[in-house]
Amino acid sequence: MIEKVINRYFFFLLSFLPISFLIGPSVSLTNILIFDFSFIFLLFYKKDWSWIKNPTIKILLILYLYLIFNQFIALDWNLSFFRNFGFLRLIVFFVGVNYFFYNNENFYKVFIIWSAIIFVVVFDIFIEKVFGTNILGYGYGHERVVSFFKDEQIPGGFVYAFSLMLFGYYVSKSEDHKKYFKIFTIIALILFLVAIISTGERSNSFKAFFSFILFLFLFKEISFFKKLFLLGLVFLIISLVILSNDYLKNRLFNSVIYAASNFKSSFVNYDPHNNPGLLYAKLARSSYEVFKNYPYFGVGNKNYRFESCKNKIISKNIHIMRNNYVCSSHPHQIYYEFLSEHGLIGTLILLVLFFLIFYKILNLLFLSKNYIGIGTLSYLIAVFTPLLPSGQFFTDYNISLFFINLSIMYATTQKANIFSK
């Protein structure tokens, strides 16, 4: 009886996770922390600490130790304190998800609840795109879609973070169901991709399409011709959606062509702030300047803003930058962020550790035909796509979505699950 109550309690916390992101960052953080503290209490009650010896946990703990080291070399201790020390919550979350998926198959039903939530967001995106506001009245006057996020233009990235694992879940279920479920799986994929693209989020749109192609490539159980047909069908529908909307056509086609042709000149200009070129190119140049000044371990997590903005002066209401810096919260690209805030050595540490985490599971993932895991892996690999703009990797929103996918990838791959004997 007690065991059932415990499982239902944690099942509710996991089921509520997507909704907590929709409500706000403080709610999603609180949700994860409640899950973590409750799970730690359960571990003490069960006296089960065998998972600590798991090689993947050791890699995550090494990553945590590096972040603690990064805290001590940060230019501003206060800016990076919660981001570095708070990383422990994600390791505990990772362990907890593995525990419950390993010990209770009913936790796979969480994908049904997550599907319902994501489909509501998908249709809300379509409503806002057509009528100008979502069902709660948010988004009036914006070309970019905000959906339930009120004034934040991130619903595409949110749907994208859950879509690949859900698509993998549908694929795994379609093998046990009739033909109609396979049709539903294809329709769901198209709805996910069209919704992401309709938000106008360029980077997430390209990453989502890349992840879908990667999923097809890794999905070895369907023939090459079926893959080609599905890819062609999806590409045709997406192209029609983009070409039918002037805003999407300009944002996803014309602006990308302009960016590609002007990036180099925008980057090499001596004064990136006064350069009339691209913002992302100026930020690339600025982060490169920060990297040159702190080449080994960078300025510290979340400290790009501290370094790039500290030399800003105002003369006749004009912001003038020194040292070729552009004042911004972050460089808007994962590798620029790593190099400027973690330096060359720190970046290599981060990339090697994440590579080891991915590499350890690959063989087991394919042998078990875990389509949910293949979906999450497709998402995780796309996070490290070069050149495409991105949000701050270690910000609570992005790193939480990253670890949800990472946790699900390991938890649903039976022999890779850290509680597997």
* Radius of gyration for the alpha carbons in the chain, expressed in angstroms and rounded: 22
When pLDDT is averaged across residues 65-84 and rounded to a whole number, the result is 91
CB 88, CB 39: distance < 8 Å:
no
Reading the block at residue 6, the tokens are: 């415990």
pLDDT of residue 382: 93
| Chain segment 308-356, per-residue pLDDT in tens | 887 665 444 444 455 678 888 888 889 999 999 999 999 999 999 999 9
| Chain segment 350-397, per-residue pLDDT in tens | 999 999 999 889 888 888 888 999 999 999 999 998 878 888 899 999
| Chain segment 78-111, per-residue pLDDT in tens | 888 889 999 999 999 999 999 999 998 899 999 9
| Chain segment 116-142, per-residue pLDDT in tens | 999 999 999 999 988 888 888 887 666
Euclidean distance between CA atoms 164 and 375, whole angstroms: 4
> Model confidence at 264, in pLDDT bands (50, 70, 90)?
low
CB 66, CB 346: distance < 8 Å:
yes
pLDDT of residue 117: 97
Reading the block at residue 178, the tokens are: 């009739």
pLDDT of residue 260: 63
| Average model confidence (pLDDT) across the chain | 86
* Domain range list for the chain: 2-48+87-249+369-411
Euclidean distance between CA atoms 105 and 42, whole angstroms: 19
Burial of 385 (0-12, 13-18, 19+ CB in 10 A): middle
| Chain segment 286-309, per-residue pLDDT in tens | 888 899 999 999 999 999 988 888
When pLDDT is averaged across residues 29-52 and rounded to a whole number, the result is 93
pLDDT above 90: residue 157: yes
What is the signed CA dihedral for 280, 282, 285, 286, rounded to 10 degrees?
Answer: -100
pLDDT above 90: residue 113: yes
Angle at CA 258, nearest 5°, toward 255 and 264? 130
When pLDDT is averaged across residues 261-281 and rounded to a whole number, the result is 61
Asked whether the whole model's pTM tops 0.95, one would answer no
